[in-house]
Amino acid sequence: MMGHVPSTGESAAAKVSDINSARPAGRRLWTNRLASAAMVGAVLLAVIPVGLILYYITVKGMAAMSWEFLSEPTPFSFRRAEGGFLNGLIGTGIMVGLATLVSVPLGILAAIYLQEFGRGLLANLIRFFSDVMTGVPSVFVGLFVYTAFVLPFGFGAVMGAAALAIIMLPIVVRTTEEMLKLVPLELQHGSFALGASKFQTIIRVVLPSALPGITTGVLLAVARAAGETAPLILTALGSLKVTTTLVGEPISALPLLIFDGARNPFAAGQERAWAGALELLALVLIFTLLARIVASRSKISS
């Protein structure tokens, strides 16, 4: 290779235009400028909504945020100004927690199968359909849990958690598998050379070294599940009470309460929805941020 390779097109273009006869002229030059302007325009078009969303959620959310909002359940009327989303916060906590407890071990085991044991048609099918499953509409997952579990057992936290777990499972499987792929084979060979069995190698060598990456995937899956609304309408249904009952009693969640607030015409209900959106967005962004921190840590250590 050449000694100095320019990393962006910029310097190469500059060199070309140094040669007078080769300088792009007239229409070609203007097309190029127009294209560059269009690219910058596209970026602005995407950045404007980011700014507007963060601005309005923060301003309108903070205006309605209070200790009462965080510590009181929702009142029975959208007209009433008091109360908050405690019922939703607890419901979201319970359902996302249960979903994580189920989907993370299963997802990690499935990823170990794909990476360490599985080969041939079955492994490829599982890999392919995990990818496809991440694209299944979440409302359909809700319909499935409704037909399979809510019809016989009623609405409840476990049903909502089941829907969230199904949404999280393929995310955990695919991100964990990607992380397991990155574990150097030499580590495994070293372990085998010491006489360790495959089980011992996976548990003591492979998983610990892939742990930061797996944690990142899990945190992103949790963030995704915490924001899901549609499947919970069909499985948790929603409730104005603070409840910790797991089966047989409808339960609320932050997204459900925000959805209700957005659909009603009364100012008090809408203000609570803004505060709820701030609370939910803060939760989701904390998990996303944690995921990034863990991911960047793992890069440093490896």
Partner 1 sequence: MQSEAKTLGDVAAGVAPAAIENRTGIGRRADSLFGLLTLVSGSLVLIVLGFMVVSTTNTALPIFSSEGLSFVTSSNWNPAAGNYGILAFIYGTLVTSIIALVIAIPVSLGIALYVVEAAPRWVRGPITYAVDLLAAVPSVVYGLWGVFVLLPLFLQPAVALLSEYLGFLPIFAGPASGLSYFGAGVVLAIMVIPIISSLSREVIRTVPDADRYAAYALGATRWEMIRGAVIPRSRAGIVGAVMLGLGRALGETIAVALLVGSATRIDPSVVRPGYSMAAVIANQFQEASGDHIRALVGVGVVLFAITILVNVAARLMVWRMVER
Measured CA to CA, the distance from residue 302 to residue 297 in angstroms comes to: 9
Q: How far is the CB of 37 from partner 1 (least distance, A)?
A: 10
Q: How far is the CB of 61 from partner 1 (least distance, A)?
A: 10
Q: Count other Cβ atoms within 10 Å, centred on residue 290.
A: 16
Number of residues that bind partner 1 (CB under 8 A): 108
3-state secondary structure 224-280: HHHCCCHHHHHHCECCCCCCCCCCCCCECCHHHHHHHHHHCCCHHHHHHHHHHHHHH
Report the residue from 84, 89, 144, 188 that binds partner 1 according to the rule CB under 8 A: 144
**Per DSSP, which regions of 110-249 are E strands?**
none
Scan residues 104-123 and list those touching partner 1 (CB under 8 A): 105-107, 109-110, 112-114, 116-118, 122-123
Select from 68-76, 79-87, 239-247, 253-261 the region that touches partner 1 (CB under 8 A). 253-261
Scan residues 159-218 and list those touching partner 1 (CB under 8 A): 166, 169-170, 173, 191, 194-200, 202, 204, 208-209
Contacts of 81 (CB under 8 A, 6+ apart): 268, 271
Report the residue from 125, 182, 247, 293 that binds partner 1 according to the rule CB under 8 A: 125
Measured CA to CA, the distance from residue 130 to residue 181 in angstroms comes to: 17
Measured CA to CA, the distance from residue 110 to residue 133 in angstroms comes to: 14
Report the residue from 83, 84, 227, 269 that binds partner 1 according to the rule CB under 8 A: 227
Report the residue from 96, 146, 159, 188 that binds partner 1 according to the rule CB under 8 A: 146
Q: Is the CB of 15 or the CB of 80 nearer to partner 1? A: 15
